[in-house]
Amino acid sequence: MTSSFKPVRKAVFPVAGLGTRFLPATKVLPKEMLPIGDRPLIQHAWEEARDAGIEEFLFVTGRHKNMLEEHFDYQPELMDTLEARGKKDLLEKVRGSEMPAGKLFLTRQPRPLGLGHAVWCARELVGNDPFAVILPDDVIMAPKGCLKQMVEAYNDLGGNMVAVMDVPRQDVAKYGVLDIGADNGKTVSVKGLVEKPEPAKAPSTLSIIGRYILQPEIFGHLAAFEKGAGGEIQITDAMSKLIGKQPFHGLRFEGTRYDCGSRLGFLEANIAFGLIDSELGGDVRHMIDRLSGSAAPLKRSAKGST
Ligand code: UTP
């Protein structure tokens, strides 16, 4: 550990966005409750944080988002019923979604003014500690969790860190993009950041996805409430101001990232997780073959199931 930086024990989950790309599904249902496989997006994110050694989980929620905290509650009636029916596997799964007592902290973002503003809303909960930020709509399939990879790199390098991946140049306008200094193939030192650049003007194609480790000094810059790309208070603009004052690195994580904030990415993630599901994987493969016209239709059983 770089001696001047504390370990990361807190993670902020900004979950106050409107999820307009999934309307009308997200009219009442929080986007972060949409499931990939048998777990909602927020649980995937929480598990990744927990596996990275995070001990305090800070949710920035908004109107119509109470379901997110309830998902992690103990549900006595449900547990009793599963117990009475001898459903041991399901009991185990439900237990795996319970938050340890006293580890979930909630704050509100009154209006969805942008990711930077949502993170700023967590300032009192974060205090003077380094913290991770996890966007639950980025789901990462990896042998070792993305945040765990970042925490390990942070323990060597300290400072601030973002998870990055190369994207096709025509797509950089959807991301915060790095201006790169020294690059050892795994970590890159960051010279500058641009939010949603025009493809021709982007300093590179190395783009930030929804995982960050930040020092608390970011809050001073977020408090300026500067509106950036799209008229929103962007975290990228505040992060830029830390460059040169503290170490700032990008980590090329190992794994595949699915943009579950978009409908196509969400579908792709469900198929990818379905394919590696121990119960369903074979059937999912067959279904894909069938839908793409390369296999015979599945025979229906008498009950109508396949
Ligand atoms: P998105 O940029 O995907 O925005 O947010 P969104 O509102 O959720 O979805 P669309 O674009 O309307 O479909 C990325 C993450 O940041 C959170 C979201 O909840 C999501 O987890 N967020 C975004 C906030 O918490 N507050 C905001 O003001 C904006």
Tokens standing for 193? 């950041």
Q: Which atom of ligand 1 is nearest to the CA of 114?
A: 28
Ligand 1, pocket-test mutation among 18, 60, 61, 107, most atoms within 8 A of CB: 18
Tens of pLDDT along 217-236? 999 999 888 787 778 888 99
Average pLDDT, the chain: 93
- Number of Cβ within a 10 Å radius of residue 22: 18
Ligand 1, pocket-test mutation among 27, 29, 115, most atoms within 8 A of CB: 115
| All CATH 3.90.550.10 domain ranges in the chain, comma separated | 10-261
Model pTM score: 0.93
Angle subtended by helix axes 146-157 and 41-51, to nearest 10:
40
110 exposed, middle or buried (CB, 10 Å; 0-12, 13-18, 19+)? exposed
What's the 181 CA to ligand 1 centre distance in angstroms? 30
Q: Find all residues with CB under 8 Å of 125, minimum gap 6, and list them.
A: 10, 12, 56, 58, 105, 107
Residue identifier of the C-alpha nearest atom 4 of ligand 1 = 17
- Mean pLDDT across 274-303: 81
- 231 versus 132: which is more confidently predicted? 132
Rounded Cα distance, 105 and 12, in Å: 9
Residue identifier of the C-alpha nearest atom 5 of ligand 1 = 17
Position 295 scores a pLDDT of 58
Position 304 scores a pLDDT of 39
191 exposed, middle or buried (CB, 10 Å; 0-12, 13-18, 19+)? middle
Tens of pLDDT along 183-195? 999 999 999 999 9
CATH 3.90.550.10 fits 10-261, yes or no: yes
Rounded Cα distance, 55 and 125, in Å: 13
Tokens standing for 288? 């894909």
| C-alpha radius of gyration, the chain, whole number | 21
Assess contact for 188 and 253: CB atoms under 8 A: no
